[in-house]
């Protein structure tokens, strides 16, 4: 789809928010941060609350319902928020804002969003797009953990344990979610869970060592990614008191 | 009955008693399932049936507006499993901490019910066993044999105590409130489930305390003050309490509040001018406005607790985020709806 009109610049007050509907029907919340404009999904990823009713101080957007917060430039979660906002890049032409191409799973994802375009390009160059039917097995315990995956669409479920003795190990359903991240760690050469597509799913498969190679050449970006990976892993180890 | 919960990060399974609501069975098992009101209003405990059947105990629950029945969604606080049940919760779910007071169902006996104002009553529930809770928590109450829990915050604090103190505001449609106001209830038996709620205070926090309460939202603040006093918290940290009511006729706990010497107490009257020559400080205005005026420049190292009717809580949160620039982990709140 080509460029789609979202709204007039004058519609969005300085350091304010407004819900807009782009041509073609996509609803988004548009923020004016000191003359820079950012577009995000219109409702909170937590409980479907309209984000235009939230609080915005010019840099952080807060959903008024449960105080989830995001960085307005990137949609990255802040504070107690458990999920990023899907970002829609806007371009300004004259007095109007337009919706550009939607971000890819890498751009919007929890690990890589906001990185320099040159790094994202290199990572995208390593990614192989795969589509799988419902029921397809991506890996089993003991399989080599060479690649990690970024979910584009669909749904992937994990099982821990083997044979008859298995237990659910969670599921992925949001664009940009990363799994199979053992491929980015030293000392975890094998899968410890199975991953199965529950629906028709589209994924990016990226070789862990090659991705680390890209990040090693840009330690700044590598540091950001490793910090996020540490936070992501900690979410799986945390207890209820942490949040 | 076996219930299996698939959460974003892992799975859990636990047993439910026949007819027991899914949420209460999971919490009783020490699994911190998502909830906020636990009584059918907020929609936070939404889940999805993967296999099995649930029976909905309250088809008209206000929280139903958040669920899509066509997608097999339901409220865990209102539905019980009819057979072995597998459900999905689209959130990260963790086991409760080792030190958490795990909720349970208990019967208490009403003691010392008394009028505090024209439309607020105080009473205690006495239990046979100690009932531990964290300061700021609430329990669900229903007169024995009457369906439909309502949540009320404790006003006292005592580790190992067998008594919980409450206040209840008269509400025309409030099941428990109507029952309590409807006759002499001392000696009556009340079913309880709890403790619940995460707007809790522990002295290990080590920050200055800002407490903002609208009306009966003062209940949890009294518990926090009692907990802090017991630990001599205000010898090391500052404390401010802003208590908003309409008029003097609606104010209560004034004697109790005037006894906290280490806490800066202000009563905000929204609909009349303050009285003269009082021991406590009175100001005219909505509680969040009064707090905003008094607190300007004093937000360093502050943890805020807010409770009361939703509009009052929202207005106070706005001040705390935008004026005080507190981080969200330092804003704990309870909306009484």
Please say if the pLDDT value at position B143 is more than 50.
yes
- Contact of A237 with chain B, judged by CB distance below 8 Å, is answered with no
Mean pLDDT of chain B: 93
Residue of B321, B323, B333 to mutate, interface with A, max A Cβ within 10 Å: B321
Average pLDDT over residues A195-213: 96
Per-residue pLDDT, A239 = 66
Average pLDDT over residues B259-268: 93
Question: Are B6 and A240 in contact (CB < 8 Å)?
Answer: no
Residue A100 to chain B, least CA–CA distance (Å): 30
Average pLDDT over residues B260-267: 93
Given the candidates 3.40.50.300, 2.102.10.10, 3.60.110.10, 1.10.3720.10, the CATH classification of the domain at A4-101 is 2.102.10.10
Please say if the pLDDT value at position A242 is more than 50.
no
Per-residue pLDDT, B4 = 95
Please say if the pLDDT value at position B252 is more than 90.
yes
pLDDT-derived band at A237 (thresholds 50, 70, 90) equals: confident
- Please, how many CA atoms are within 13 Å of residue A63, restricted to the half-sphere of its CB? 28
Question: Are B96 and A48 in contact (CB < 8 Å)?
Answer: no
Mean pLDDT of chain A: 89
Question: Hey, do A4-101 and A117-242 end up sharing a CATH topology, with the first three levels equal?
Answer: no
- Contact of A62 with chain B, judged by CB distance below 8 Å, is answered with yes
**Among residues of chain B, what percentage have pLDDT more than 90?**
82
Residue A4, class by beta-carbon neighbours within 10 Å (0-12 exposed, 13-18 middle, 19+ buried)? middle
Per-residue pLDDT, A243 = 43
Of B54-68, B130-144, B229-243, least confident by mean pLDDT is: B54-68
Task: Kindly report, residue by residue over A110-163, the tens digit of the pLDDT.
Answer: 899 888 989 999 999 999 999 999 999 999 999 999 999 999 999 999 998 877
| Domains of chain B with bracketed CATH | 2-89 (3.10.20.30), 104-196 (2.40.30.10), 203-335 (3.40.50.80)
Chain B stretch 244-303, residues whose beta carbon is closer than 8 A to a beta carbon of chain A: none
| Helices B310-318, B287-295: inter-axial angle, 10-degree rounding | 20
Grouping H, G, I as helix, E, B as strand and the rest as coil, residue B306 is strand
Whole-angstrom Cα distance, residue B245 to residue B267? 8
**Domain map (residue ranges) of chain A:** 4-101, 117-242
pTM for this entry = 0.88
Grouping H, G, I as helix, E, B as strand and the rest as coil, residue A188 is coil
Question: Are B11 and A64 in contact (CB < 8 Å)?
Answer: no
Return the CATH number of the domain spanning residue range A117-242.
2.60.120.10
Average pLDDT over residues B200-225: 96
Per-residue pLDDT, B113 = 96
Per-residue pLDDT, A241 = 54
**Among residues of chain A, what percentage have pLDDT more than 90?**
60
Residue B2 to chain A, least CA–CA distance (Å): 14
- Which tokens sit at B123? 């009473």
Per-residue pLDDT, A101 = 74
| CB contact set of A81 (below 8 Å; sequence gap of 6+) | A46, A68, A69, A70
């Amino acid at each position: 789809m080509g460029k789609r009109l979202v709204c007039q610049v004058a519609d969005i007050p300085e350091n304010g928010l407004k819900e807009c509907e782009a041509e073609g029907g996509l609803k988004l919340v548009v923020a004016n941060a000191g003359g820079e404009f950012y577009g995000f999904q219109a409702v909170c990823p937590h409980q479907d609350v309209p984000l235009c009713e939230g609080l915005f101080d010019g840099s952080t957007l807060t959903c008024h319902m449960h105080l989830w917060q995001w960085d307005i430039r990137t949609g990255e979660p802040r504070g107690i928020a458990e999920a990023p906002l899907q970002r829609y890049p806007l371009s300004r032409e004259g007095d109007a804002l337009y919706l550009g191409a939607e971000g890819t799973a890498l751009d919007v994802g929890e690990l890589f969003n906001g990185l320099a375009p040159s790094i994202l390009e290199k990572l995208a160059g390593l990614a192989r797009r795969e589509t799988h039917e419902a029921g397809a097995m991506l890996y089993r315990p003991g399989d080599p953990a060479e690649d990690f995956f970024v979910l584009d669409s669909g749904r992937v479920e994990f099982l821990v344990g083997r044979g008859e003795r298995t237990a659910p190990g969670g599921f992925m359903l949001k664009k940009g979610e990363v799994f199979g991240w053992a491929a980015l760690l030293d000392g975890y050469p094998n899968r410890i869970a199975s991953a199965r597509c529950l629906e028709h799913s589209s994924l990016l498969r990226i070789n862990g060592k090659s991705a680390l190679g890209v990040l090693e050449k840009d330690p700044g970006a590598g540091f950001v990614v490793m910090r996020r990976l540490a936070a992501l892993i900690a979410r799986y180890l945390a207890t209820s008191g942490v949040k | 009955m076996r219930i299996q919960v698939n959460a974003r990060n892992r799975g859990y399974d636990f047993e439910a008693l026949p007819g027991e609501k899914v949420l209460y069975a999971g919490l009783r098992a020490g699994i911190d399932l998502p909830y906020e009101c636990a009584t059918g209003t907020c929609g936070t405990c939404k889940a999805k049936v993967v296999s099995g059947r649930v029976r909905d105990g309250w088809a008209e629950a206000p929280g139903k507006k958040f669920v899509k029945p066509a997608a097999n969604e339901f409220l865990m606080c209102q539905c019980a499993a009819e057979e072995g049940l597998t459900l999905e919760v689209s959130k990260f779910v963790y086991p409760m901490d080792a030190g958490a007071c795990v909720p349970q169902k208990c019967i208490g006996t009403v003691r010392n019910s008394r009028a505090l104002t024209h439309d607020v009553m105080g009473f205690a529930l006495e239990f046979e066993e100690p009932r531990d809770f964290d300061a700021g928590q609430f329990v669900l109450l229903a007169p024995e044999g009457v369906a439909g829990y309502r949540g009320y915050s404790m006003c006292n604090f005592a580790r190992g105590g067998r008594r919980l103190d409450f206040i209840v505001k008269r509400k025309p449609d409030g099941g428990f409130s109507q029952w309590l106001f409807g006759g002499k209830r001392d000696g009556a038996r009340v079913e309880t489930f709890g403790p619940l709620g995460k707007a809790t205070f522990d002295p290990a926090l080590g920050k200055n305390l800002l407490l903002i309460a609208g009306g009966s939202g003062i209940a949890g603040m009294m518990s926090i003050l009692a907990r802090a006093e017991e630990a001599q918290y205000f010898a090391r940290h500052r404390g401010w309490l802003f208590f908003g009511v309409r008029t003097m006729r609606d104010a209560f706990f004034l004697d109790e509040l005037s006894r906290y010497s280490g806490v800066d107490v202000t009563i905000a009257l929204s609909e009349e001018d303050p009285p003269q020559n009082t021991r406590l400080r009175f100001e005219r205005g909505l509680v969040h406005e009064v707090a905003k005026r008094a607190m300007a420049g004093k937000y360093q190292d502050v943890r805020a607790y807010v409770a009361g009717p939703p509009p009052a809580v929202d207005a106070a949160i706005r001040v705390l985020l935008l004026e005080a620039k507190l981080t969200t982990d330092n804003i704990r709140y309870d909306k009484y709806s």
